[in-house]
Amino acid sequence: MGQIEWAMWANEQALASGLILLIGGVVGVAGQFRDWQFAAYGIAAGVFVMLLEYPRGKRRKGTTMERPGQRFFAAIVKLFGPLTRNYYVRAILHACLAVPGGFILPTVLGTVNLGIASLIYLLAAFRKEEWRPIQALQSQKGHVGKSIHQPPTNPPPRPPAEHRRKPVDDTRAVEVTARPVTFDSN
Amino acid sequence: MDGCHSLKLLLLWLGVNTFLFVHTFFLYEQEEAYTYTRAMLGSALAWSRASAMCLNFNCLLILLPVSRNLISLLRGSCGCCRSNIRRQLDKNIRFHQIVAYMIILHTVIHVIAHLFNIERYHASYSPVAKDLLIRLSSIGKNSSESYLNPIRTYDTNPVKELLSSAAGVTGIIITVAFILMVTSSTWVIVKSFYEVFWFTHHLFIIFFIGLIIHGFGRIVRGQTSQSLQEHNVTYCKDHYDEWGDIPECPLPQFAGNEPVTWKWVLGPVFLYICERLIRYCRSLQKVVITKVIVHPSRVLELQMKKQGFKMKPGQYIFLHCPSISRYEWHPFTLTSASEEDHFSIHMRALGDWTSALFEAWEENTEDAKETHQVRIAVDGPFGTACIDVFYYEVSVLIATGIGVTPFVSVLKSIWYKYSQTATTMKVKRVYFYWICRDTHSFEWFADLLQSLEVQLMEKGRSHFLSYHIFLTGWDEYQAAHIALHYEENKDVITGLKQKTFYGRPNWNNEFKRIADDHPGANIGVFFCGPNDLSHVLHTMCNFYSSANPQGVQFHYNKEDL
């Protein structure tokens, strides 16, 4: 249904994976597990992935919902140009980041999920999707007619009233085989 | 009223969760059978078991709200219940999501607790571990001994241990499946890429299979009751180097807990399988499309017939069109009256699916022979019926924007009942208020009102139904145009005899007028729209109801879309 933009899902998955990697890392460090250094890595990698993935990219079609406060992060991500725009780079980056998490248990879940996110990004890259920042919203509050407080733009002599624009009648004008509903009171 | 019941159900559910968690937690923290297990694991044992219990409970619940045919059946069986409880069952998806959030929470607790458990089991072999732990871990080397520590040697690591146990492997599979289900059900994905959501959500099959197998390894171990009688834990735990040598402390025997998850989830899994079978059978049932009407603003009216289909006003159906999308079912409110020989929906072409359907039919209406070529399947009807409208002497129907759709069916139904049984019908007067930005995309409804108005006038009963349409989206051009034509007989926008109003209604005036016109009457007020207006109307109803029980009484009912 419509063009599926895999990057949208990859982004959600990667963001979640970053969080899971982070939590796993915290558990490993706080619990002083064996080889806790991998857990410390998990914290760093998790935070990095979350910061990278937090700003949502612009969709090809339709309006994109921004995450709250993502403008700042989007500006930073944009700075890296093709490194962050290209999804092949992201796929490889996530795959590489995921590997060290597989060495201790607390970060294994983060590894697997980040690996899956990497695969989805690969799919998105095949489909030639790209990360683009969402532009600032233009204020599009165009009223149907101009305010009467503005000076008139059509001074006399003017054509007769019937030829002037009447927005009120538009709703009737575009009827396409409309048939009023009839009732039979049986 | 409805909010009250939602809250009560939610509190009940939270209460059960809390009870299960706390009860299980203290069981594992204090039971003697788990003293030795606790020696190795600490509180992580209790945390993991308590969250597991809540997971069992919530995994049982999660399939129920999405079994819409089951819910329909339940509703049918409590036909004489107050509609509030039935309406409760309509909030399926919301409840499904809330249960899912709880599952997320408990999964986090469960996984973290088990991370500690596996690490601690492994650490029990370490040279720096306490002697009791080393002694406990050494049990099970001979075939006559039953082990306590599922990890059998120090020469391993937790990851390897995870992957070599049934619990570990199923655990990671179902957690990953669950996470994928969650990330593909975010609002963005569901709204824009429905198929990704739909397909990924079917991972629940793997989830439930894995969940049932998860406990088969019997990895949670405690002392057997027989062993507890022979081996006095309170004394023996300090004499671990004498186990087997002194009569007070024979070697403790351990056994794994029986898997219980299957007992919790098998029922709902079976019910859900039935639900999917019903949907599949319904999709095979023949639906005949008797008429297709294209209205302005890309609104399509589909009139259909299906054998055995019975509806009530205010209900909705799910529509399925395999040629457009093999898996999507979309809900539409029914806009026909139950007295008609067909049922109909009015569909606005807004999203991908509705636009595709609209275009498919736009081509077909030109050629009458091909009217039946686009195959449609129908599931339903679902939802609560707004039949309470007929039980009051005076009914006030208020709708905003698209909330008017359930009332279409009600209005038509009132019309039919009035035509047939005017003298015996309880309802004597109906007020209808519609507040919308503009009538754009509702021209079909304006036509319907016009037609009703004409027919009532012909019968000389124009006072039975009175409409008040409030357009809130006017601008200066429209205002000027309307002011110019104010003196005319018919309303210049809708063509109706009753004038359209601009801006929002003054509810105080409206309620006062209705109360004055009908002293001593029981007046039902029905509203379909946003919550803030709902509060206002509810307040109005209370305010204008007379203190005297014999005086005018307003009864407020909110309909849910």
Most confident among A65-79, B174-188, B453-467, B470-484 (mean pLDDT): B174-188
Contact assignment for A1 to B108 by CB distance below 8 Å? no
- Beta-carbon separation of A171 and B439 below 8 A: yes
Give the span between the Cα atoms of A117 and A19, in whole angstroms.
Answer: 13
Is residue B188 predicted with pLDDT exceeding 60? Answer: yes
pLDDT higher than threshold 50 for residue A60: yes
The answer to whether A87 touches A121, Cβ cutoff 8 Å, is yes
Q: Say how far apart CA B89 and CA B560 lie, in whole Å.
A: 11
Q: Chain B: residue nearest A111 by CA?
A: B176
Task: Report the candidate in B220, B221, B243, B222 with the shortest Cα–Cα distance to residue B231.
Answer: B243
Q: Which bin fits B460, alpha (ψ -120 to 50), beta or left (φ > 0)?
A: left
Sign of CA dihedral A42, A43, A48, A49: positive
Alpha helices (runs of H) in B184-260, residue ranges in sequence order: 187-192, 194-201, 204-213, 225-230, 233-236
Contact list in A for residue B353 (CB cut-off 8 A) is: 1
Over residues B131-146, mean pLDDT: 84
- Cβ atoms of B328 and B353 closer than 8 Å: yes
Query: B4 pLDDT exceeds 60?
Result: yes
Backbone phi and psi for residue A8, each to the nearest 5 degrees, phi listed first: -65, -45
Helix (H, G, I), strand (E, B) or coil at B150: coil
In B, minimum Cα distance to A143 occurs at B475
| CA closest to A4 among chain B residues | B193
pLDDT value for B202: 94
Closest among B43, B164, B186 to B104, alpha carbons compared: B186
Q: What is the pLDDT of residues A113-125, one digit of tens each?
A: 999 999 999 999 9
Give B194's contacts (C-beta < 8 A, 6+ positions apart): A1, B325, B328
Query: How many beta carbons lie within 10 A of that of residue B239, not counting itself?
Result: 13
From edge to edge, which strands make up the β-sheet containing B343-348? Answer: B287-295, B299-306, B343-348
Q: Which pLDDT score is estimated for B478?
A: 67
Find chain B residues with C-beta within 8 A of A180's C-beta: 447-448, 450-451
pLDDT at B468 > cutoff 80: yes
Per-residue pLDDT, A39: 95
Calpha distance A78→A73 (Å, rounded): 8
The answer to whether the CB atoms of A105 and B478 lie below 8 A apart is: no
Phi, psi of B505 (to 5 degrees): -70, 150
* Number of alpha carbons in the 13 Å side-chain half-sphere of residue A86: 8
Residues in chain A closer than 8 A to B484 (CB atoms): none
Residues B360-401 have pLDDT tens digits of: 877 765 555 555 567 889 988 887 667 778 888 888 988 887
pLDDT for A178: 41
**B365 to each of B360, B361, B362, B438, B447, how far by Cα in Å?**
9, 6, 6, 28, 20
Contact call for B115 and A5, based on CB within 8 A = no
Q: Answer yes or no: do A27 and B115 touch at CB < 8 A.
A: yes
Q: Tell me, what's the pLDDT at B29?
A: 94
Q: Which pLDDT belongs to residue B559?
A: 65
Answer yes or no: do B112 and A27 touch at CB < 8 A. Answer: yes
Which residues, in sequence order, are CB contacts of B486 under 8 Å at separation 6+?
A: none
Chains A and B form CB pairs within 8 A to the count of 152
Ranges A158-162, B78-82, B254-258, B482-486: which has the least confidence: B78-82
Please, which residues have CB within 8 angstroms of residue B182's CB and are 6 or more apart in sequence? Answer: A16, B100, B104
**If pLDDT is split at 50, 70 and 90, which confidence band does A179 have?**
very low
Determine the Cα–Cα distance for residues B104 and B97; give it in Å rounded to an integer: 10
pLDDT above 70 coverage of chain B, percent:
89
Question: 């871990």: which residue's tokens?
Answer: B137
Q: What is the pLDDT of residue B83?
A: 42
CB B353 within 8 A of CB B324: yes
Mean confidence (pLDDT) of chain B: 84
Contact B183 A102 (CB under 8 A): no
Nearest by CB: B188 against A65, A145, A177: A65
CA–CA gap between residue B456 and residue B450 (Å, rounded)? 10
Q: Which residue has the higher pLDDT, A143 or A53?
A: A53
Q: What pLDDT was estimated at residue A63?
A: 78
Find the angle CA(A47)-CA(A49)-CA(A55) to the nearest 5 degrees: 105
Q: Structure pTM? A: 0.77
Average pLDDT, chain A: 81
Interatomic CA distance for residues B544 and B553, integer angstroms: 8
CB B468 within 8 A of CB B431: yes
Omega before residue A157 within 30° of 0, cis = yes
Q: Do A178 and B294 touch (CB under 8 A)?
A: yes
| Interchain pair A178, B296: CB under 8 A | yes
B325 → closest Cβ in A1, A31, A179: A1
- DSSP symbol at A152: P
Cβ–Cβ of A148/B476 closer than 8 Å? yes
Asked whether the predicted pLDDT for residue B331 surpasses 70, the reply is yes
Cβ atoms of B447 and B415 closer than 8 Å:
no
Most confident of A8-17, A71-80, B82-91: A8-17
**Pick from A4-18, B30-44, B75-89, B208-222: least confident:** B75-89
- Which pLDDT does position B454 carry in this prediction? 80
Q: Considering only the beta carbons, identify the residue of A65, A148, A180 that sits closest to B451.
A: A180
Q: Percent of chain B, pLDDT > 90?
A: 26
First to last CA, chain B: 16
ipTM of the complex: 0.75
- Token couple for A161: 């009233």
Q: What is the pLDDT of residue B469?
A: 83
Report, in this order, helix, strand and coil percent for chain A, each rounded to 5.
55, 0, 40
Inter-chain touch A147–B158, beta carbons under 8 Å? no
Test A27 with B195 for CB contact under 8 angstroms: no
Q: Which residue has the higher pLDDT, B422 or B518?
A: B518
Using DSSP, state whether B83 is helix, strand or coil: helix
Beta strands at B500-502 and B299-306: parallel, antiparallel or unpaired: unpaired
What number of residues does chain B have? 561
DSSP B432: E
pLDDT band at A149 (very low <50, low <70, confident <90, very high): low
pLDDT score at B338 = 85
The per-residue pLDDT for range A99-111, each reduced to its tens digit, is 999 999 999 999 9
Mutate to test the interface with B, among A112, A168, A170 (most CBs of B within 10 A): A168
Looking at residue B422, its pLDDT comes to: 60
Cβ neighbours of B179 in A, within 8 Å: 13, 16, 20, 109, 113
Q: Which of B175, B352, B443 faces A1 most closely, judged by CB atoms?
A: B352
Mean pLDDT, residues B47-71 taken together: 92
**How close does chain A come to B364, measured CA to CA in Å?**
13
Residue with structure tokens 């968690």?
A: B21
Band (pLDDT 50/70/90 cuts) for residue B318 is confident
Q: How far is A139 from chain B (nearest CA, A)?
A: 19
With a cut of 70, say whether residue A180 has pLDDT above it: no
**Does B193 sit within 8 Å of A113, measured CB to CB?**
no
Distances (CA, A) of B422 to A22, A29, B375, B416, B458: 70, 78, 39, 9, 15
Phi, psi values for residue B299, rounded to 5°: -105, 130
Say what the pLDDT of residue B75 is: 65
Q: How far is A83 from chain B (nearest CA, A)?
A: 25
Smallest CA–CA distance, residue A76 to chain B, in Å, is 23
pLDDT, position A174: 39
Minimal Cα–Cα distance from B62 to chain A, Å?
22
Contact (CB<8Å) A185/B352: no
Of A102, A117, A37, A27, residue with least CA distance to B162: A102
Closest residue in B to A17 (Cα) is: B179
Q: Are strands B429-436 and B394-400 parallel, antiparallel or unpaired?
A: parallel
With contacts defined as CB-CB under 8 Å, which chain A residues touch B176?
A: 109, 112-113, 116
* Interface touch B183/A9, C-beta < 8 Å: yes
- CA atoms in the 13 A half-sphere facing the CB of A17: 33
Residues of chain B contacting residue A175, judged by C-beta atoms under 8 Å apart: 296, 443
Q: How long, in residues, is chain A?
A: 186
Does the beta-carbon distance from B172 to A103 stay under 8 Å? no
pLDDT, residue B487, reads: 66
Q: How far apart are CA B143 and CA B125, in angstroms?
A: 20
- Nearest residue of B to residue A34, measured between CA atoms: B119
Return the bridge partners of B304, or none: B289, B343
Which residues in chain A are contacts of B162 at CB distance < 8 A? 105, 108
pLDDT at B79 over 50: no
| Residue B461 to chain A, least CA–CA distance (Å) | 14
Question: Residue B477 and residue A167: Cβ atoms within 8 Å?
Answer: yes
Tell me which of B117, B178, B186, B199 to substitute to probe the interface with A (most A C-beta atoms closer than 10 Å).
B186
CB atoms within 10 A of CB B451: 15
B32 vs B496, which has greater pLDDT? B32
Least confident of B200-204, B469-473, B498-502: B498-502
The dihedrals phi and psi of B502, each to the nearest 5 degrees, come to -120, 135
